[in-house]
């Protein structure tokens, strides 16, 4: 039988063709010069066979990105796994094994038994006993990782792009669980080990097992359903077409404000738990200048790409410079780092925060740096504005739609801040910083939409115009 290392080397050219088709591959749009196998480990079997691999992708830049794969190997690949096909190796087929129910369950079994294979450590969290009689299924909508749901009990997140050192998502879950935080999915197990060949010091986290939250609703889906309800109701009122008359969000059946309030309270509670678990301290000397300088650098970069931003550049610079003169207590701590409505789930008992990895495009060192909790608050306010503006309904008059969106976002942003203020200082009392963080997040959105979704670009541009006009 060919060794695991030779197997991965044998299919390297095929991987170069498969990688750009994966949602989680971050190197789209750049040529792949080579796939370099760093590590390959047999986890189980001969036919079917389960192989864990780490490869390095040469795209002409350093440092090179590294990715995790799970390969299944069979003499006869079932038809239902055809979509996961990678390549043939000898007389066997190689495919992505997270789609294989028979092989995926082995990962759960390895964690339950606390197995170590060539330095690759499968473990449970202290005091956890796993039920291994669970059938797996992959979650299909993820952008940056791959998750497997086991029955209705567990979910295993496999980190696709891996890097040496601590994994922020895993460590934050562990820290919050240690202080009894009720607003996360409890961590249950992990997969960790070397990034390269035996003897290398670099290690990484490859997987995190948590409880599976049943009967949950996605925050984005809930919020946008509420917006649709309000817009539909506004179309029914007398004289709605061609006017700015609209229904009051408080009077519409799908009003989201009570949920926005609860969500604000939960975010503040998680911030408090993070401070308890990992500490909080006054911002160090120079922190405000560092913030302002970073915001100016982002503005400089986005202005080069998006000329539509130019009319607001002076107001943006004034808002960022105002940060330097902020006076008052400014604690910094660990925060979520990429908070939006898609990162929160509504369970029957309340809101839950997920995915503490931070912004995927930000270097790990920057994601790990303590920050003001206002950064998370501003990010959620921007997400609420996106929910209000992203989806027109039918042929609604644009002026009327804008009025509906503004009414909805204002009501729910206020409700979120009201809820936050019940468990932590009111973020609106630090208006200079909060506004700067909102504008900085909107700049990030402008750059993203310009490069990826041009039809959505008016959303952050309109927010910048509104926020700068309100504070001349």
CB-based contact 391:402 (threshold 8 Å): no
pLDDT computed for residue 246 by the predictor: 64
- Per-residue pLDDT of 406-452, as tens digits, reads 999 999 999 999 999 999 999 999 999 999 999 999 999 999 999 88
Closest CA to 93 of 104, 81, 102: 81
Length of the chain: 472
Number of H helices, E strands in the chain: 13, 18
What pTM, to 2 d.p., does this model score? 0.91
- Per-residue pLDDT of 197-216, as tens digits, reads 554 568 899 999 999 999 99
What is the spatial distance between Cα 240 and Cα 257, in angstroms, rounded to a whole number? 23
Domains annotated for the chain, with CATH where assigned, are: 4-211 (no CATH), 217-469 (3.90.1200.10)
Percent of the chain with pLDDT over 70: 93
- Per-residue pLDDT of 120-171, as tens digits, reads 999 999 999 999 999 999 987 667 899 999 999 999 999 999 988 889 999 9
What is the spatial distance between Cα 177 and Cα 351, in angstroms, rounded to a whole number? 16
Q: How confident is the model at residue 378 (pLDDT cuts 50, 70, 90)?
A: very high
From the number of C-beta atoms within 10 Å of its C-beta (0-12, 13-18, 19+), residue 148 rates as buried
Give 275's contacts (C-beta < 8 A, 6+ positions apart).
331, 333, 334
pLDDT computed for residue 237 by the predictor: 59
CB-based contact 61:45 (threshold 8 Å): no
Closest CA to 54 of 143, 145, 156, 162: 162
Give 349's contacts (C-beta < 8 A, 6+ positions apart).
none
Where do we find the tokens 């002076």?
314
């Amino acid at each position: 039988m060919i060794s695991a290392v030779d197997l991965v080397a044998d299919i390297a050219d095929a991987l170069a063709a498969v990688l750009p088709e994966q949602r989680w591959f971050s190197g789209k749009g750049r040529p792949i010069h080579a796939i370099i196998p760093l590590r390959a480990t047999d986890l189980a079997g001969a036919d079917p066979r389960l192989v864990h691999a780490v490869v390095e992708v040469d795209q002409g830049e350093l440092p090179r990105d590294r990715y995790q794969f799970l390969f299944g190997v069979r003499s006869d690949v079932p038809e239902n796994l055809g979509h996961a096909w990678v390549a043939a190796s000898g007389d066997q087929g190689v495919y992505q094994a997270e789609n294989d129910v028979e092989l995926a369950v082995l990962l759960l079994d390895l964690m339950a038994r606390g197995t170590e294979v060539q330095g690759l450590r499968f473990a449970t969290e202290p005091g956890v006993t796993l039920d291994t009689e669970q059938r797996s299924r992959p979650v299909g909508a993820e952008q940056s990782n791959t998750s497997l749901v086991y029955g209705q009990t567990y979910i295993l997140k496999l980190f696709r792009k891996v890097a040496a050192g601590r994994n922020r998502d895993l460590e934050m879950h562990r820290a919050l669980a240690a202080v009894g935080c009720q607003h996360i999915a409890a961590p249950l197990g992990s997969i960790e080990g070397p990034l390269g060949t035996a003897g290398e010091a670099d290690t990484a986290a490859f997987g995190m097992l948590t409880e599976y939250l049943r009967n949950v609703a996605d925050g984005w889906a809930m919020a946008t359903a509420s917006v649709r309800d309000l817009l539909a109701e506004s179309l029914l009122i007398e004289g709605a077409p061609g006017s700015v008359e609209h229904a009051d969000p408080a009077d519409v059946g799908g009003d989201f404000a009570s949920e926005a309030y609860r969500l604000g309270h939960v975010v503040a509670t998680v911030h408090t738990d993070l401070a308890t678990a990992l500490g909080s301290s006054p911002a160090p000397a120079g922190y405000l200048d560092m913030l302002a300088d970073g915001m100016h650098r982002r503005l400089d970069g986005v202005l080069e790409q998006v000329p539509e931003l130019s009319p607001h550049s002076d107001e943006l610079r004034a808002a960022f410079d105002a940060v330097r003169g902020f006076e008052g207590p400014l604690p910094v701590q660990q925060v979520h780092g990429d908070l939006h409505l898609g990162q929160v789930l509504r369970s029957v008992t309340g809101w839950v925060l997920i995915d503490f990895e931070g912004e995927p495009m930000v270097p790990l060192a920057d994601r790990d740096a303590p920050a003001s909790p206002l950064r998370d608050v501003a990010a959620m306010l921007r997400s609420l504005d996106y929910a209000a503006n992203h989806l027109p309904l039918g042929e609604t008059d644009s002026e009327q739609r804008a009025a509906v969106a503004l009414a909805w976002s204002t009501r729910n942003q206020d409700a979120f801040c009201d809820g936050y203020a019940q468990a932590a200082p009111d973020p609106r009392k630090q208006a200079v910083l909060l506004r700067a963080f909102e504008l900085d997040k909107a700049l990030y959105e402008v750059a993203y939409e310009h490069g990826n979704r041009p039809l959505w670009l008016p959303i952050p541009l309109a927010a910048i115009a509104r926020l700068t006009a309100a504070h001349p």
